Structure 1
Amino acid sequence: MKKTENFKNSRNIPQLSINRVVAMILFSACLFAWPILLAAQDKTIHGRVTTERNDPVPGASVVLKGTNKGQVTNGNGEFVITATKGAVLVISSIGYANKEITVEDDTRINVQLSPAAKDVGEIVVVGYGTQKKKDLTGAVASVNLESLREAPNTNIGQFLQGTVPGLNVGIATVAGGTPPISIRGRVTLNGNQNVLMILDGIQYTGSLSYINPDDIATIDVLKDASSTAVYGAQAANGVILITSRKGKINQQPRIAFSTSYTSQYPTIGKLKPYDREGYLNYLKEAFYDKAYLAPDYTTPNPDFKIEDVADNSIRNGQGGLLPNNYDWFGEGTNTGTISETNLSISGGGDRVTYLVSGSLVDQKGFIVNDKFKRKSIRANIETRPLSWWKVGLLSSAAFINQDGAEPSFGSLQRMTPLIVPYDTAGKLIPFPMNTLEPNPFTTYHVDDYDRTNYFFANIYTDIDFPFLEGLNYRMNFGNNYRLSKHFFSSIYDAGQTGRAYKEFQDYYDYTFDNILTYSKKFGDHDITATLLYGAVGRKFNSTFSEARGFPRLTLSYNNLSQGTNQFAQSDAWEENLAYQMARVNYKFKDRYLLTAILRRDGFSGFAKNYKYGTFPVLALGWILSEENFMKGIPAIDYLKLRAGYGINGNQTSRYTSIARVTTNAAYVFGDGGTTAFGQQVSSLGNDNLKWERTKGLNIGVDFNAFNNRLTGTLDYYRNNTYDLLYSVAIPNVTGFGSITTNLGQIRNSGFETSLTYNIIDKKDFKWSATANFSTNKNQIITLTGMDANKDGKEDDLVSSSLFIGKSIKAIYDYQLDGIYQLNDPRIPGFPVGSVRIVDQNKDNDITQQSDRVFLGRQEPAYRVSLFQNFSYKAFTVSLFLNSVQGGRNGYLGNNNPSFFREDNSIRVNNLQGIDFWSPGNPTGKYPRNISGSRAKIEPSMYQDRSFVRLQDVSISYNLATSLLKKFKAQSINLYVSGKNLYTWTNWEGWDPEANDNDGNPMGLVIGGRPVLRGFTVGLNIVY
């Protein structure tokens, strides 16, 4: 469909004047160079910052109170700063309580820091600002990135698996791939299901594979309505806030270099195709009725010859078997590798801070030509023209190279070892099996140019108004631009006549935010109010040119005019959003907390009657540990209760509310006349299509106990989504099959907890453990609301597998009871070796209407992970276990590698280790039907996908301080690590967590992709 509809709906949303924005940017940028020199101080202070056990505290901040002047301690905890007598130095470091020291006559001072209540004073990034963790009223969690830096992850998403309860991250099976990510399960049927990504305050619409993980300082996850509401309708599925690293005020230039090399191997066990001997035995078992004697078919038939049943493709001219034993699988795969190098320089004075970084990543997957190369650069610069004014630039660029095409992995598994890919002259044989099954290397021997360039920039100004203390204005102008080029040619396409194409795509979006914040503390009252006005615009264009039928392809894709048949397509779309938000954070006596939010969103994709939606939130918090009645409980160091209730929206995809037009071949004038093209309406519009609304309740507890050795959070949530966006089937007499409308209600609820315990905390030995646990359940409450049978019960949408009172991924299917043996009585239509289906109504027939039952659900029952960190002097060892469990009848996946004997199934190879039934293997799990007619019904076979995975292990060594001084470095760290080392599971097939492109689990199927086990050696150096 050509998306050339009138954009009048988009114009109903206020759009930003680009000229005005550019003028503002230029005005701000011209002020970057305004330096204001500070007066020289009187004396030089030498100091050292240590813990209570006299261990150095590197990276601690030492700042002159009331100024922006400061230093950062080196690897030995030392610092040098100039100050006048009577000045106050503020020393701070994450995990320790701040300490203030007044400068006296001494020029050398030693400072000891005491541990702070863990996490309580931590600053957490929230929407449009930051907050102390103790002041949060919503469900916000931070990812411990430092513990996973040494894992071989080229994608930020791969860092997130199992790290935060409620953050559900799958697994990627392609080089550089982004795993599927969700937060707290599904709250919609057909609405937007994507988690909102915010990079440095700006909505990020690119792939996570474009971001260099080494550039990231923090990742925070917003999970409930009271924390996500500031981002409105686009945050219905949760928010991930990514903040990049920056320089620090008065920091000496810091140079960080890291390099690593990873080898990767598939975790597939026996999932390889048969070699020659195995394939011939597999073929023999497929003809057990000939290879063995009746009646029990277990005694070998001495007259049986495999050549008599083999396909012609594996026989020579004399009828004998070809002598080959070609390893198709081995030739199409190799050892996966990742080579990564990062370099960054950061620092700053009292007016300017900076960070510049570059990175090179070269990943080769297990399948030949599964490649991912990334070159990335980043420049984060901030200047203070005046003490109350900041202007900055957060920018990055990534250049992605995915040239080359894989051989067909499914065909590599199907090809029998008795045939070869090349003839005696070394020329590729397009169809070596003499069927429509192509040579898997026809997709490999191509000319493929696949590049994507991605650019991100956020230009901002931040003003603390000097005439009114506490009033701040911030302007963000963020830009995402993506340019993709995909050029391709293959002589084997288009029926061996050759095909080539060139495809260009470009995408651009901007975000313009105006944020006004006022903070004031008076007496026991502390209030922060935030106002936001912003707009987002997005544009996409693509052009596709193709030719087929080439006399030769010597010029590859660079001269499409040589093709006999030439085609051209183009596409474009545009959408706009506008939004306003007001938020009030109020704190009384440092113990009673209130957050109130009102957000209003407008989106061009909704109908003219419902362009805007308004979404309120209210959340409360109570720090009980500040109450007098809690002071007598010494075990409790910190305890907070919080509860929030609010409404979030969810938006539809573009153009679903309007009638759309397509162009197709429509008329033929006269016999043998030419075809004329015409336009026709392809979908119905709906002037009343409106926003989905999710009403969410979250109740949580945060606590520290036992002298802050134990910290934890607990959360219970319940979300109800109304006015679901859904395509409802309508009578075909209308000329259309469906219309998008609002209907029904679903419920999503769950429980989450995260606990961290410092088991041992000695000077030379430390041992800490973090456990995460989460459950989630969804339920369909109503659908159409219609009662077709007038029996007082609402109808299910059986054809869409949606059932009232069940989960969205409920499994309504046939119950199985083994496999029909040779002499078993059978229901008509089910031959020997097929699956026995339970006849629920005992009528000796199997039908969809009468014999299907609820078997369980595809969603898991719970997720759990355990991270442990051990350190002894300079050695550190970390272990990370991750698990997804189905519980009772949960996390089920279809896994039915059934065999039906026909021409195709006997000429293609199969995977080793599949336990097919046969008379000689009566306990086989999977059906083998050789009757010549398919079973009346070939049902799905569901298995539990539950697993426990040893996901990450690392061992690192920090060189001693004396060596650091010799090399003039702050730190030198050597490490080895492993990823996906072992998985305990009863799932048979490819990895239990891996899904195909349609989101279905990959069982014992041809074409599944393996998850890779990785081993890494790395080095980190900081100067």
Structure 2
Amino acid sequence: MIKKTIFFLSFLVLLSWEIKAQNKELKGIVRDEQNLPIPGVNVLISGTSAGTVTDMDGSFTISQPTGQGTQLEFSFIGYTKKSVVIGTQTTFNIQMEPDMNALKEVVVVGYGTQKKKDLTGAVASANLEAFRKAPNVNIVQSLQGSVAGLNIGQVNSAGSTPSIQIRGQNTFQGNRNVLIVLDGIQYNGSLASINPNDIESIEVLKDASSATVYGAQAGNGVLLITSKKGKKGKPVITYSQSYASQTPTNKLRTLNREEFVEKVRDLNYDQAFLAPNYTTPNPNFDITSVMDFTMVDQNTNTLKNNNFNWLDAGTNPGQIQKHELSISGASDNSNYLISAGITKQEGFIINDNFKRKNIRVNLETKPTEWLTVGVQSFGAFNDYSGAEPTLSSLTRQSPFLTPYDENGNLVLSPTQTNVLNPFLTYDVENYDTQNDFYGNFYGIINFLFVKGLSYRVNYGNNYRIGESFGASKYEAGQTGAAYKNHTRYSDYTLDNIVNYKRKFGLHDFDVTLLYGAIERENSSTEANSTDISNLIMGYNSLEQGINQFASSGAWKESLNYQMGRVNYKFKDRYLLTGTVRRDGYSGFARNEKWGIFPAAAVGWIVSEESFLKDNKVISFLKLRANYGTTGNTPGRYTSLATFSRDRSYVFGDGGAPVFGQNANNLENPNLRWEKNTGVNFGLDFGLFSKRLSGAIEYYESTTKDLIFNVPLPYIMGITTTRTNIGELKNKGFEIQLTSENIKNDNFLWTTTATLSSNRNKIIKLVGLDENGDGIEDDLVANGQFIGKSAGAIFGFAYDGLYQIGDQIPAGYSPGTQRIRDTNGDGIISAADRIILGRTEPAYTASLLNTFSYKGLTLNVFFNSVQGGKDGYLGDVIPTSVGGVRNDNSIRYNYFSDIDYWSPRNPTGEFPRSLVTAAQGATIYRDRSFIRLQDVSLSYSFDKKIASHLGLSDLNLFVSGKNLATWTKWKGWDPETGQGYNENGRPVMKSYSLGINITF
């Protein structure tokens, strides 16, 4: 029995050895696209329960059960799943490719990148893809209305950059510029120099916590712009071409011949019509007796037989032409992108031109496992040459006058006044160019002996040359003048960045340390001369002028900064971020050279908790809260006393003044930078397997130590001194939602909607808070009031127009404004001024719908700004001289849309009278609008068709911009708020056609 037992046990041992011997041990290492090891990769053997994860070196070891499983399966967040046939091999070198959809969940933050789900600050990624086909010359035009809390203005001249504002106004007289960071380097050049097609992504740092990494320069928010890189695969050559026509969204016209005559009659209604109502024509009235003499034929004493439209002759439909070519690609150890393009734009007014030639070279290579080096560079050559007439000069010219005499020569001044013929710009020389050169050279060292530790050095350099030359025989009282202006700007940025990323069990650490410096300098020289008898040499022989002048200027500034940031994650759900930055700036005051800016943030990914892990409705839920401080850097000479040349001395009674240097403002060695401190609460969510996702933000921020020019008594001989006063509070909310409404194999319909609101309020002025004693604590002369918004409108209340037959007080007449006696004392005085509203809107909203069916893609985007009650008001009163009878109002033309009062038009909106009113009021109107801003339809041909043509991709598209606007605003576009301003410009409506070809 004992022998049998021993034999049986021996058999079991031998059998287990045999089974073990039949299990095959598999080993290997898993690397990413940059050949770096990836820890934490899941490794499974298909069809079995055998599995493991890679260690910190990316290595794995796993046993293959006998006769089971034919493939190794690898999976890791952010990378596409990979399967490898096992076969007879036992050692594997695996390289995983990034999941492009997952990459969209990685965003650029200051001095690094971060998974979107791990963000604790208010960071928004712009949807550039939906606007790639739009006829945009400037990259930030693609952001207009698409990001909640980011307000991008309109452009209405060729090659111009729209205004940019993040979360409202944070200052009175300080710097209002949003900080632009291009490929990790602060960028101070024109955004018009950047080719939109070269840009991969744009992130918006909206709150103090996320922007604190940029310290004293981030008080107005930050835009992070990242250019494209080559993607792994064969070289890709892409050519694109587009043409866009442009016409005004609202084209105002001027009075024609008949309307002009009626205008003159209404200005002289007391003669042209019979009393008492002045609506019956006076048969004895002779229009030539009141018409300007230049419009009357002196031989026949009749009106000249002309009906010339100056505004039509001086404007034209605009157009945009773009040609772009790029080649890109990547291998295991390098990537590259080389692009070139040319853009031509003609604006609404003749000679409003812009031409950009650009080239970009982005290269990156990894010569060793531990070293990466690269360069991101571009050159832009911008040409704005062309002397355009002012819109006011085109508007004012009468239809009875023409620009040419009977011999075909330009008439110097058709009205024989100091208003010159606007078409004289055809006969002048104008050269205006700006060349930009940008380069960011970087190196990255991954320390193999310390896992997760890396060092990056960035050296960025901007160089800009501007040349503005001109010559005109009509300047300087028609004696002739010429000038040459040269400007040169350069800067460098040197950043040293140490990063340590490591996971220890349930703990994730991401530590970033920064030490950097920036130096900027600028110089300019101008030479000009007047009284040039012969301008045959134009601006190239200034010594020909009798009067010769020269001026020059220069400045230099430097910054030094240090920053530390720690991102900590526990159990993949509890998030903590701490940041502190220290800034030094040569432009800070003598006693305030350094500033410290801290921030802290927490986050909780609730959906990772066990009680929500298997929830079928909530697929993602994260709560965020943060607190931080940023600064607003003052101008480089803000704290110093500055001087200018002016009349300074008079020697003796009746002596002539002598020019000298005068101080403009007092020095303030204790002037501080403005500090913006705020909190932000955020909620990120995804519902129904992320078919509906979005973010909700609520924020409050307070700007202290506002920089303000305090006026001084004139007797001191110095007009102002700059000091820190008061507090300005901002608060608001933002909602951004994205839904997948329909999704199947052939059809996809997605919707993105945004809604945001911002309100600001002045808390303190000159040390007094909103509970002060009243209006004497306000800065009335500057329009700033405690408890009101910074955009408060203060003035007289308009109460209609006086009519014939009314009881009219002295100083007023029929057709003048009726001013409301708000205090009821029976006298119209400064005491009757009240708060009429505010310039800021109540909220902004947008709606983007994208429809994709096989190769067709349709994008439809609506944008809206609404004023609510007494908000988003603009001055709509005409700037023309047509409101009061005098020589100029009779002589000059104006827009036909202006509804002036007259006895025959008693309901007219705008005042017009025989006399100047004792007191007038500005007329404000609501600028609210809804705009069909962008529509694009593109078609990508089937790959087989493209292949037959020798192409890898072929795409045709049509698009439109600013196609329709619904508003009650009058005059030029409501978004520009220019009303009936003679020098306003229209926003342009565009239709574009283009093609993209990829080889």
Superposed pair shares fold, TM > 0.5: yes
SS where residue 938 of structure 1 aligns?
coil
Partner of residue 899 from structure 2, selected from 895, 903, 915: 915
1:854 alignment counterpart: 835
Deviation at 1:486?
0.5
- Considering only CA atoms, is the larger Rg found in Structure 1 or Structure 2? 2
SS where residue 564 of structure 2 aligns?
strand
Deviation at 1:817?
1.6
Q: Quick one: distance in 2 between partners of 1:986 and 1:786? A: 39
Aligned residue runs from structure 1 range 22-41, under 5 A: none
Please say if residues 408 and 441 of structure 1, whose CA atoms lie closer than 8 Å, have aligned partners that are also in contact: no
2:804 alignment counterpart: 822
Distance of aligned partners of 1:92 and 1:254 in 2 relative to their CA distance in 1, 3 Å threshold: farther
Q: Quick one: distance in 2 between partners of 1:881 and 1:367? A: 28
The answer to whether 1:781 aligns with 2:763 is yes
1:39 alignment counterpart: none
Deviation at 1:598?
0.5
Deviation at 1:695?
1.2
Please say if residues 267 and 1011 of structure 1, whose CA atoms lie closer than 8 Å, have aligned partners that are also in contact: yes
Please say if residues 726 and 768 of structure 2, whose CA atoms lie closer than 8 Å, have aligned partners that are also in contact: no
Distance of aligned partners of 1:243 and 1:787 in 2 relative to their CA distance in 1, 3 Å threshold: closer
Please say if residues 36 and 369 of structure 2, whose CA atoms lie closer than 8 Å, have aligned partners that are also in contact: no
Distance of aligned partners of 1:273 and 1:454 in 2 relative to their CA distance in 1, 3 Å threshold: same
Partner of residue 722 from structure 1, selected from 694, 698, 704: 704
Q: Quick one: distance in 2 between partners of 1:245 and 1:988? A: 42
Q: Which TM-score applies when normalising by structure 2? A: 0.90
Partner of residue 140 from structure 2, selected from 150, 157, 161: 157
2:343 alignment counterpart: 361
The answer to whether 1:900 aligns with 2:876 is no
The answer to whether 1:929 aligns with 2:913 is yes
Q: Quick one: distance in 1 between partners of 2:98 and 2:588? A: 52
1:1007 alignment counterpart: 983
SS where residue 928 of structure 1 aligns?
coil
The answer to whether 1:688 aligns with 2:673 is no
Q: Quick one: distance in 2 between partners of 1:682 and 1:817? A: 41
Aligned residue runs from structure 1 range 660-699, under 5 A: 660-664=642-646, 666=648, 678-699=660-681
Q: Quick one: distance in 2 between partners of 1:673 and 1:564? A: 28
Cα RMSD (Å) of the superposition?
2.6
Distance of aligned partners of 1:840 and 1:205 in 2 relative to their CA distance in 1, 3 Å threshold: same
Please say if residues 407 and 444 of structure 1, whose CA atoms lie closer than 8 Å, have aligned partners that are also in contact: no
2:46 alignment counterpart: none
2:286 alignment counterpart: 305
Tell me the alpha carbon deviations over residues 116-169 of structure 1, each in whole angstroms, 9 at most, x when there is no partner. Answer: 998897110000000000000000001111110110000012111001000001
Tell me the alpha carbon deviations over residues 74-95 of structure 1, each in whole angstroms, 9 at most, x when there is no partner. Answer: xxxxxxxxxxx999787899xx
The answer to whether 1:291 aligns with 2:259 is no
SS where residue 982 of structure 1 aligns?
strand
Q: Quick one: distance in 1 between partners of 2:704 and 2:317? A: 50
Q: Quick one: distance in 2 between partners of 1:522 and 1:944? A: 58
Distance of aligned partners of 1:487 and 1:649 in 2 relative to their CA distance in 1, 3 Å threshold: same
The answer to whether 1:523 aligns with 2:523 is no
SS where residue 945 of structure 2 aligns?
helix
The answer to whether 1:236 aligns with 2:212 is no
Please say if residues 787 and 794 of structure 1, whose CA atoms lie closer than 8 Å, have aligned partners that are also in contact: no
Distance of aligned partners of 1:603 and 1:86 in 2 relative to their CA distance in 1, 3 Å threshold: farther
Deviation at 1:444?
3.9
Q: Quick one: distance in 1 between partners of 2:787 and 2:981? A: 32
Distance of aligned partners of 1:458 and 1:142 in 2 relative to their CA distance in 1, 3 Å threshold: same
Q: Quick one: distance in 2 between partners of 1:867 and 1:1014? A: 18
Q: Quick one: distance in 2 between partners of 1:760 and 1:957? A: 20
Aligned residue runs from structure 1 range 325-336, under 5 A: 325-336=307-318
Please say if residues 33 and 332 of structure 2, whose CA atoms lie closer than 8 Å, have aligned partners that are also in contact: no
Letter in 1 for 2:118: D
The answer to whether 1:868 aligns with 2:849 is yes
Q: Quick one: distance in 1 between partners of 2:135 and 2:862? A: 16
Q: Quick one: distance in 2 between partners of 1:817 and 1:662? A: 45
The answer to whether 1:404 aligns with 2:380 is no
1:883 alignment counterpart: 864
1:195 alignment counterpart: 178
1:218 alignment counterpart: 201
Q: Give percent identity, aligned residues only.
A: 51
Deviation at 1:436?
1.6
Please say if residues 223 and 238 of structure 1, whose CA atoms lie closer than 8 Å, have aligned partners that are also in contact: yes
Partner of residue 598 from structure 1, selected from 572, 580, 597: 580
Distance of aligned partners of 1:794 and 1:293 in 2 relative to their CA distance in 1, 3 Å threshold: closer
Q: Which TM-score applies when normalising by structure 1? A: 0.88
SS where residue 900 of structure 1 aligns?
coil
Deviating more after overlay: 807-816 vs 583-592: 807-816
Tell me the alpha carbon deviations over residues 94-124 of structure 1, each in whole angstroms, 9 at most, x when there is no partner. Answer: xx873232344599xxxxx999998897110
Letter in 2 for 1:1019: I
Please say if residues 639 and 702 of structure 1, whose CA atoms lie closer than 8 Å, have aligned partners that are also in contact: yes
SS where residue 929 of structure 1 aligns?
coil
Please say if residues 436 and 465 of structure 2, whose CA atoms lie closer than 8 Å, have aligned partners that are also in contact: yes
Q: Quick one: distance in 2 between partners of 1:340 and 1:791? A: 60
Please say if residues 70 and 87 of structure 2, whose CA atoms lie closer than 8 Å, have aligned partners that are also in contact: no
Please say if residues 64 and 90 of structure 1, whose CA atoms lie closer than 8 Å, have aligned partners that are also in contact: no
Please say if residues 819 and 920 of structure 2, whose CA atoms lie closer than 8 Å, have aligned partners that are also in contact: no
Distance of aligned partners of 1:610 and 1:387 in 2 relative to their CA distance in 1, 3 Å threshold: same
SS where residue 931 of structure 2 aligns?
strand
1:139 alignment counterpart: 122
- Where in structure 2 are there 5+ consecutive unaligned residues? 1-31, 40-68, 90-95
Deviating more after overlay: 494-503 vs 722-731: 722-731
Q: Quick one: distance in 2 between partners of 1:663 and 1:298? A: 57
Tell me the alpha carbon deviations over residues 871-917 of structure 1, each in whole angstroms, 9 at most, x when there is no partner. Answer: 12211111010000000000001111261111001111110121111
The answer to whether 1:262 aligns with 2:238 is no
Please say if residues 181 and 195 of structure 1, whose CA atoms lie closer than 8 Å, have aligned partners that are also in contact: yes
The answer to whether 1:706 aligns with 2:688 is yes
SS where residue 297 of structure 2 aligns?
coil
SS where residue 178 of structure 1 aligns?
coil
Deviation at 1:296?
1.2
The number of equivalent residue pairs is 929
Please say if residues 949 and 984 of structure 1, whose CA atoms lie closer than 8 Å, have aligned partners that are also in contact: yes
1:279 alignment counterpart: 260
Aligned residue runs from structure 1 range 18-97, under 5 A: 66=37
Q: Quick one: distance in 2 between partners of 1:515 and 1:97? A: 26
Please say if residues 117 and 637 of structure 1, whose CA atoms lie closer than 8 Å, have aligned partners that are also in contact: no
SS where residue 157 of structure 1 aligns?
helix
The answer to whether 1:167 aligns with 2:150 is yes
Deviating more after overlay: 878-887 vs 276-285: 276-285
Q: Quick one: distance in 2 between partners of 1:329 and 1:214? A: 35
The answer to whether 1:625 aligns with 2:601 is no
1:958 alignment counterpart: 940
Deviation at 1:803?
0.1
Q: Quick one: distance in 1 between partners of 2:431 and 2:598? A: 49
Deviation at 1:674?
10
SS where residue 699 of structure 1 aligns?
strand
The answer to whether 1:563 aligns with 2:539 is no
Deviation at 1:321?
0.7
Please say if residues 360 and 375 of structure 1, whose CA atoms lie closer than 8 Å, have aligned partners that are also in contact: yes
1:17 alignment counterpart: none
Deviating more after overlay: 768-777 vs 679-688: 679-688
Q: Quick one: distance in 2 between partners of 1:878 and 1:787? A: 49
Tell me the alpha carbon deviations over residues 961-1006 of structure 1, each in whole angstroms, 9 at most, x when there is no partner. Answer: 2201112322111011110101100000100011xxxxxx311222
2:48 alignment counterpart: none
SS where residue 247 of structure 1 aligns?
coil
Distance of aligned partners of 1:802 and 1:790 in 2 relative to their CA distance in 1, 3 Å threshold: closer
Tell me the alpha carbon deviations over residues 774-826 of structure 1, each in whole angstroms, 9 at most, x when there is no partner. Answer: 00000000001259999588700000100000000101111222111101122
Deviation at 1:64?
8.0
Deviation at 1:427?
1.6
Letter in 1 for 2:888: N
2:82 alignment counterpart: 100
Please say if residues 119 and 133 of structure 1, whose CA atoms lie closer than 8 Å, have aligned partners that are also in contact: no
Deviation at 1:677?
5.6
Q: Quick one: distance in 2 between partners of 1:708 and 1:868? A: 17
2:56 alignment counterpart: none
Distance of aligned partners of 1:860 and 1:819 in 2 relative to their CA distance in 1, 3 Å threshold: same
Please say if residues 471 and 519 of structure 1, whose CA atoms lie closer than 8 Å, have aligned partners that are also in contact: yes
- Where in structure 1 are there 5+ consecutive unaligned residues? 1-60, 69-84, 108-112, 995-1000
